Protein backbone atom coordinates (compact mmCIF):
# COMPACT_ATOMS: atom_id res chain seq x y z
CA UNK A 1 0.00 0.00 0.00
CA UNK A 2 2.78 2.40 0.93
CA UNK A 3 4.59 1.40 -2.25
CA UNK A 4 1.72 2.72 -4.38
CA UNK A 5 1.76 6.04 -2.55
CA UNK A 6 5.51 6.26 -3.06
CA UNK A 7 5.03 5.57 -6.76
CA UNK A 8 2.49 8.39 -6.96
CA UNK A 9 4.85 10.76 -5.13
CA UNK A 10 7.58 9.91 -7.62
CA UNK A 11 5.43 11.08 -10.55
CA UNK A 12 5.55 14.68 -11.73
CA UNK A 13 2.48 16.92 -11.93
CA UNK A 14 1.66 16.29 -15.62
CA UNK A 15 2.31 12.56 -15.30
CA UNK A 16 0.10 12.39 -12.22
CA UNK A 17 -2.73 14.24 -13.97
CA UNK A 18 -2.43 11.96 -17.00
CA UNK A 19 -2.50 8.84 -14.82
CA UNK A 20 -5.57 10.16 -12.98
CA UNK A 21 -7.50 10.67 -16.23
CA UNK A 22 -6.48 7.24 -17.52
CA UNK A 23 -7.60 5.59 -14.29
CA UNK A 24 -10.91 7.49 -14.39
CA UNK A 25 -11.57 6.21 -17.92
CA UNK A 26 -10.65 2.67 -16.93
CA UNK A 27 -12.96 2.87 -13.89
CA UNK A 28 -15.76 4.04 -16.17
CA UNK A 29 -15.25 1.04 -18.45
CA UNK A 30 -15.17 -1.36 -15.51
CA UNK A 31 -18.34 0.11 -13.99
CA UNK A 32 -20.02 -0.24 -17.37
CA UNK A 33 -18.99 -3.89 -17.59
CA UNK A 34 -20.27 -4.54 -14.08
CA UNK A 35 -23.62 -2.99 -14.92
CA UNK A 36 -23.84 -5.33 -17.91
CA UNK A 37 -23.42 -8.31 -15.59
CA UNK A 38 -19.75 -9.06 -16.09
CA UNK A 39 -18.44 -9.20 -12.51
CA UNK A 40 -14.87 -10.03 -13.57
CA UNK A 41 -13.53 -6.54 -12.87
CA UNK A 42 -14.81 -6.00 -9.32
CA UNK A 43 -11.43 -6.54 -7.66
CA UNK A 44 -9.71 -4.38 -10.27
CA UNK A 45 -12.30 -1.63 -9.76
CA UNK A 46 -11.69 -1.59 -6.01
CA UNK A 47 -7.93 -1.42 -6.42
CA UNK A 48 -8.25 1.34 -9.04
CA UNK A 49 -10.47 3.36 -6.72
CA UNK A 50 -7.92 3.10 -3.91
CA UNK A 51 -5.01 3.89 -6.21
CA UNK A 52 -6.81 6.91 -7.59
CA UNK A 53 -7.57 8.13 -4.06
CA UNK A 54 -3.87 7.85 -3.20
CA UNK A 55 -2.92 9.86 -6.27
CA UNK A 56 -5.51 12.54 -5.46
CA UNK A 57 -4.14 12.69 -1.92
CA UNK A 58 -0.61 13.20 -3.21
CA UNK A 59 -1.87 15.90 -5.59
CA UNK A 60 -3.67 17.67 -2.74
CA UNK A 61 -0.60 17.47 -0.50
CA UNK A 62 1.45 19.16 -3.20
CA UNK A 63 -1.13 21.94 -3.51
CA UNK A 64 -1.07 22.49 0.25
CA UNK A 65 2.72 22.54 0.29
CA UNK A 66 2.71 25.22 -2.39
CA UNK A 67 0.12 27.22 -0.46
CA UNK A 68 2.18 26.92 2.72
CA UNK A 69 5.27 28.14 0.88
CA UNK A 70 3.42 31.17 -0.51
CA UNK A 71 2.72 32.87 2.88
CA UNK A 72 6.35 32.46 3.85
CA UNK A 73 7.34 34.33 0.70
CA UNK A 74 4.71 37.02 1.40
CA UNK A 75 6.07 37.57 4.92
CA UNK A 76 9.26 38.94 3.42
CA UNK A 77 7.30 41.45 1.30
CA UNK A 78 6.89 45.11 2.36
CA UNK A 79 4.03 46.19 4.62
CA UNK A 80 2.23 48.00 1.76
CA UNK A 81 0.91 44.74 0.33
CA UNK A 82 -0.50 43.76 3.71
CA UNK A 83 -2.56 46.96 3.77
CA UNK A 84 -4.08 46.14 0.39
CA UNK A 85 -5.19 42.76 1.73
CA UNK A 86 -7.01 44.45 4.58
CA UNK A 87 -8.98 46.65 2.20
CA UNK A 88 -9.87 43.62 0.08
CA UNK A 89 -11.02 41.78 3.20
CA UNK A 90 -13.14 44.75 4.21
CA UNK A 91 -14.88 44.76 0.82
CA UNK A 92 -15.74 41.04 0.91
CA UNK A 93 -18.35 41.22 3.71
CA UNK A 94 -20.20 43.98 1.82
CA UNK A 95 -20.86 41.57 -1.04
CA UNK A 96 -22.22 38.98 1.38
CA UNK A 97 -24.59 41.53 2.90
CA UNK A 98 -26.24 42.21 -0.44
CA UNK A 99 -26.86 38.51 -0.94
CA UNK A 100 -28.28 38.26 2.56
CA UNK A 101 -30.63 41.18 1.90
CA UNK A 102 -32.00 39.57 -1.27
CA UNK A 103 -32.42 36.11 0.26
CA UNK A 104 -35.59 36.91 2.28
CA UNK A 105 -37.18 38.51 -0.78
CA UNK A 106 -36.59 35.39 -2.84
CA UNK A 107 -37.86 33.16 -0.04
CA UNK A 108 -40.98 35.29 0.35
CA UNK A 109 -41.67 34.98 -3.38
CA UNK A 110 -41.39 31.21 -3.21
CA UNK A 111 -43.73 31.09 -0.23
CA UNK A 112 -46.25 33.27 -2.04
CA UNK A 113 -46.13 31.02 -5.11
CA UNK A 114 -46.61 27.94 -2.95
CA UNK A 115 -49.58 29.58 -1.22
CA UNK A 116 -51.17 30.39 -4.59
CA UNK A 117 -50.78 26.81 -5.77
CA UNK A 118 -52.28 25.49 -2.56
CA UNK A 119 -55.25 27.84 -2.86
CA UNK A 120 -55.82 26.80 -6.48
CA UNK A 121 -55.70 23.13 -5.53
CA UNK A 122 -58.21 23.75 -2.74
CA UNK A 123 -60.58 25.46 -5.20
CA UNK A 124 -60.35 22.56 -7.63
CA UNK A 125 -61.05 20.08 -4.84
CA UNK A 126 -64.07 22.11 -3.73
CA UNK A 127 -65.43 22.21 -7.29
CA UNK A 128 -65.08 18.46 -7.75
CA UNK A 129 -66.75 17.86 -4.39
CA UNK A 130 -69.75 20.04 -5.42
CA UNK A 131 -70.06 18.16 -8.73
CA UNK A 132 -70.14 14.79 -6.95
CA UNK A 133 -72.99 15.92 -4.64
pLDDT of residue 50: 92
Residue 79: pLDDT band with limits 50, 70, 90: low
CA-to-CA dists, residue 121 to 28, 52, 126, angstroms: 46, 52, 9
Same domain, 1 and 58: yes
Same domain, 72 and 90: no
pLDDT of residue 61: 92
C-alpha–C-alpha distance, residues 1 and 56, integer Å? 15
| Segment of 31-35, 69-73, 122-126, 128-132 carrying the highest mean pLDDT | 31-35
Give the pLDDT mean for 64-89.
65
Same domain, 72 and 94: no
Same domain, 69 and 117: no
57-73, pLDDT tens digit by residue? 999 999 999 888 877 76
Give me the domain span that covers residue 39. Answer: 1-76
CA-to-CA dists, residue 116 to 9, 63, 89, 103, 104, angstroms: 59, 51, 42, 20, 18
Same domain, 94 and 122: yes
Q: State yes or no: pLDDT of 38 exceeds 60.
A: yes
pLDDT, averaged across the chain: 75
- Please give the model's pTM, rounded to 2 decimal places: 0.50
10-33, pLDDT tens digit by residue? 888 999 999 999 999 999 998 888
Same domain, 102 and 123: yes
Residue 106: pLDDT band with limits 50, 70, 90: low
Amino acid sequence: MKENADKARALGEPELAKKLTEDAEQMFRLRFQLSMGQADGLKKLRSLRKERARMLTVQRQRELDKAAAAPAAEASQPVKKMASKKTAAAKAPAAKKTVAKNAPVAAAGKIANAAKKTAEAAKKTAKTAKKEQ
